[in-house]
Structure 1
Amino acid sequence: MQGPDFSEVFQQLALLGRERPGLHTWLAKLPEQLTTALDTQRFPEFVGWWKRIEKLPEVVSAEITLNTSVITTKNARLENKLSLTDNQQKMLTGLLQDLKPWRKGPYQLENTYLDTEWRSDFKWDRLAPHLSNLLGRKVLDVGGGSGYHAWRLAGAGAEFTLCIDPSPRYFAQFEAARKLMGPKERPAVYHLPLGIEAVPKKIEAFDTVLSMGVLYHRRSPIDHLYELKDCLRPGGELVLETLVIEGDETACLMPEDRYAAMSNVWFLPSVAQLKLWLRRCGYKNIRCVDLNLTSTEEQRATEWMTFQSLADFLDPQNPQLTREGYPAPLRAIVIAEK
C-alpha cells in the first residue's frame, strides 16, 4: 500500500503561510502528526479502506457540482476512455459500500447515490444565508466528518477549505469522493485526519472556522471555544453549531450517562448560557441565527448507514424526549467574531 499523498495540501499550506506564518509552524509538525494519525497498528482497518480507494478508477476530468444539495461528480473521463464502463460503475459502487457507514452527505458519485444518514444539506440551507461572503476566504472545518460542508463552502466561494476530523474512515470517504472528481476541476478542499488538538495554539490563520456538532462531545467546552479562537485571524468569523436546551443564562444539562444513546455527550447549555460562554472567551457580535429541532427526515437510517438512528433514540411514546427522558435534540447555530 502506497498510502495517502499529502504533498498538495502541504504545498498549499506553505503558500498560505507566506501571509499567515502560523501555518508554517503547523506544517513543520504535520508529517509526524499524520504518521501517528494513520498508524496501522492503531487503525489496522485503514489498510483495507485505502486499498479500496486505490482500486477506484483514475479519473482525468469530471463535471463537479458543489452548490446544490447533492455533492455531484459525473461524466468522468478516464485516460483512454470517454466514460466509465458498466463494470467500472458496479465496481465503484461496491468499493464505496465497503466504506460504510456514510453519515454526512448526500453525494452522487457517477451513477451511485449515497443516501447518507444525515441530510447535511438541511443544515447548510439553514446556515448559508447568515455566512459572511466566502469569496477568497480561507476556512477551517473542525470535526467536519467526510467533508460535505467543506465542499459546500468551496461551492459558495471559499478559496481554501481544510476539513479536520480524527476518524480515519471519514478521511477515507473524503479521499474516495475527491479521487472521483479528478485532478483538474476539483477546488482547493483538503482533509487531514486530525483533531483540533493537533493545531498549534495562536495559529490565527483562518478567516472562518466551523465547529458543527462538536462542542457537546468536549469534556471542556470552554477550552474548545478558546481552541477555535486561536485558529481565527483577528476579526475572523466563528460558526458554532451544537445541541442546546431551553432556558436562561443559568440553564445547562449534563446527562447522567447517555444522551440520545450517545455516551460522549457532556454539556448542553441554553442559547443564553452559550452566548455567555462565548463572551467570557472574548468573542463579540454574537448572535443565534437558527434554532432547529432535529427531525427524523434530517437524520435517519439508510442503506448507506444501516445502524440505529434518531428514531431509535427518541421516546416511542413521546418524541419530544430522548429515550433517557431528556429533551429531544435541539440544535442552535451561533455566529460570532474574534
Structure 2
Amino acid sequence: MNNTIFQAEQQLYLHLLQLSKYHPKAGEWLACLPAWLSAVKDKRRYAHAPFYASAIDRLPAVATTQIELGDKVAATLDWQMADFKKTQSLLTNLKPWRKGPFYLLGDADTSIHIDTEWRSDFKWERVRPHLDLNKKRILDVGGGSGYHGFRMLGDGAKSVVVIDPSCLFYHQFMAIKHFMGVDLPVHYIPVPLESLPCRSELFDVVFSMGVLYHRVSPFEHLEQLKGQLNQGGVLVLETLVVDGDENTVLVPEDRYAQMNNVYFLPSVPALTKWLTKAGFSDVRCVDIDVTSTDEQRATAWMDYHSLADFLDPNDDGKTVEGYPRPKRAVMIAKK
C-alpha cells in the first residue's frame, strides 16, 4: 500500500479513535471505516483505482519547508528539477482537476499551479466572512478533492472530515496531502452522506456546498445533515437557486446546464422555508452570486467543456436548455 495513503488513513483512524473516547457514536464510524476505505480501492468498482494509487505511490519524497492555508493552499518544496518534472507528470495523470487551485512552489522554474476548473477560492471568500470556525470540528459533505477542507484549517478549524464518494477526488486529495503533510488534521472518507451512521451529532459545523440540487429527496438530505450536527451546531448550505417567492421551485425536465442529475432548484424564500420545516432555526441567506466564467472554466488541468459551453450562445443569461443561468446562494442555519 502506498505510504502516503496508509499514513493518511492511519491518521483518520486515530482521529476517530480519539473522538470515540468522548463521543460513543464515533465508534460506529470506526466499525465502518475498513469497509469504507477498501471499497474505494476495489478495481471491480473503480477500474482506475490502481492507476490512481500508483500515481500517488510514485510521488517523490521531498522536504516541505512551508505550507500556506490562509489565502491559498500551497506547499513550498525543497526539490530539484527531476522531482518537479516527475510530480508534474504524475499529477497530470490525475486529471481532470475540478476543485482548487493548489500550488506546489519551488523556484521560478520548478513551481506547479494546479489551475482547476473551479476557482473554489472565489466561493470560499464569499463564505468565510460569515463564519467562526475557530477550534470547530467540521464535516464537509461532497468536498471534492478537499480544497475547502484545507481552507477550513487555515481559518482555525480544530479538525475537518471531508466526505465524497469519488475515487478520483480521493486520490487527488492524497496527492495534495503528500506534499502538505499527512499529520494535518484534515481527513477524507470516500463515501456519500447517506452511508454515514445516522444522527451521529459529532460536528460543530457541517458544510454541504453544491450537493442539494443533486439529491432526489432534498428533505432527506437536510435531515441527514442535521443528524451529523451537535445541538446548536451550524449548517452551511450552498446550492443552485432561482428567483421567485416561497412557492417557486424549478424542476428541470431533463438536463440543467448539461447536468443530467439536477432535480430541484428552489428560490431563496422557498429554501428558507425548507430549512425551517426540516427543523433548523436562525435561517439566513448570506450570499447570492451568479456563476461567472472566471469562476468556472476549462483549463489545462480540466480541458473538457465547462460553463461557457453550457450557456445559450445568444443569451448568456440562460443555459443551453433555456433555464436561468446558474445562480448560487449560501444559507446558514442552526440546529
Tell me the TM-score normalised to structure 2 length: 0.95
Please show how residues 97-246 of structure 1 align to structure 2 within 5 Å.
97-110=92-105, 111-131=111-131, 133-183=132-182, 187-246=184-243
Aligned with 1:66 (options 64, 69, 83): 69
Instruction: Give the drift of 1:17.
Output: 1.9
Which residue does 1:315 correspond to in 2? 312
Distance 2:116 2:35 in 1: 32
Q: Is the 1:62–1:181 Cα contact (8 Å) retained in structure 2?
A: no
Equivalent AA in structure 2 for residue 36 of structure 1: A
Q: Is the 1:240–1:333 Cα contact (8 Å) retained in structure 2?
A: yes
Identity among equivalent pairs (%) = 47
Alignment deviations for residues 6-26 of structure 1 (CA, whole Å, 9 cap, x no partner): 121011111112222211111
Distance 1:294 1:139 in 2: 26
Distance 2:22 2:316 in 1: 50
Which residue does 1:277 correspond to in 2? 274
Instruction: Give the drift of 1:61.
Output: 3.8
Distance 1:288 1:330 in 2: 13
Q: Is the 2:143–2:162 Cα contact (8 Å) retained in structure 1?
A: yes
Distance 2:62 2:17 in 1: 27
Structure 1 spans left out of the alignment, 5+ residues = 76-82
Distance 1:71 1:200 in 2: 31
Question: Tell me, what secondary structure is at the counterpart of 1:325?
Answer: coil
Q: Is the 2:64–2:75 Cα contact (8 Å) retained in structure 1?
A: no
Distance 1:174 1:274 in 2: 31
Which residue does 2:42 correspond to in 1? 39
Q: How many residues align?
A: 327
Distance 2:24 2:159 in 1: 16
Question: Tell me, what secondary structure is at the counterpart of 2:261?
Answer: coil
Tell me the TM-score normalised to structure 1 length: 0.94
Aligned with 1:91 (options 69, 83, 86): 86
Aligned with 1:331 (options 315, 322, 328): 328
Aligned with 1:7 (options 10, 28, 34): 10
> Which stretch of the first structure deviates more once superposed, 27-36 or 93-102?
27-36
Distance 2:287 2:281 in 1: 18
Q: Is the 1:153–1:161 Cα contact (8 Å) retained in structure 2?
A: yes
Instruction: Give the drift of 1:198.
Output: 1.6
> Which stretch of the first structure deviates more once superposed, 243-252 or 22-31?
22-31
Distance 1:142 1:320 in 2: 29
Equivalent AA in structure 2 for residue 91 of structure 1: K
Which residue does 2:108 correspond to in 1? none
Structure 2 spans left out of the alignment, 5+ residues = 106-110
Q: Is the 2:246–2:269 Cα contact (8 Å) retained in structure 1?
A: yes
Distance 1:260 1:249 in 2: 23
Equivalent AA in structure 1 for residue 199 of structure 2: K
Alignment deviations for residues 174-201 of structure 1 (CA, whole Å, 9 cap, x no partner): 0000001234xx5201111111112100
Question: Tell me, what secondary structure is at the counterpart of 2:298?
Answer: coil
Question: Tell me, what secondary structure is at the counterpart of 1:191?
Answer: strand
Alignment deviations for residues 138-170 of structure 1 (CA, whole Å, 9 cap, x no partner): 000000000000000000000100100000100
